[in-house]
Amino acid sequence: MKDKEKDGEMGEDGGKRKMGRRKACKFCADDKIKIDYKDASLLKYFITDRGKLVPRRLSGNCAKHQRAITVAVNRARVIALMPYAVTGT
């Protein structure tokens, strides 16, 4: 092994992932934004095009608000404000 590879630095082939700065939770930063199951326009940013929930590491939410998003999305799905899965091609 080369000395650079032992230290964990990036090789030519990109051996290790770069750790970037973690996103800040937008709900912790702005108290005016409330998570509500009736607000489908806010919740759509936390759903993929396949209908799955976006994970915390991608959305940047804290654990408390990610749980609230999950509950709100599930409630919105029950009363048919949001789809469970995308149909079609």
Residue that is written with structure tokens 């005016």 in the block:
32
The partner residues of 47 in beta bridges, in order of sequence, read 53
pLDDT per residue as tens, the chain (89 positions):
555 555 555 556 566 777 777 778 999 999 999 999 999 999 999 999 888 999 999 999 999 999 999 999 999 999 999 988 877 65
Per-residue pLDDT, 22: 74
Q: What is the pTM of this model?
A: 0.73
The SS3 assignment for 53 reads strand
Per-residue pLDDT, 39: 94
CATH topology (fold) of 24-89: 30s Ribosomal Protein S18 (4.10.640)
Per-residue pLDDT, 3: 54
Sign of the torsion angle spanned by Cα atoms 46, 48, 50, 56: negative
Which sequence spans correspond to the domains of the chain? 24-89
Per-residue pLDDT, 15: 65
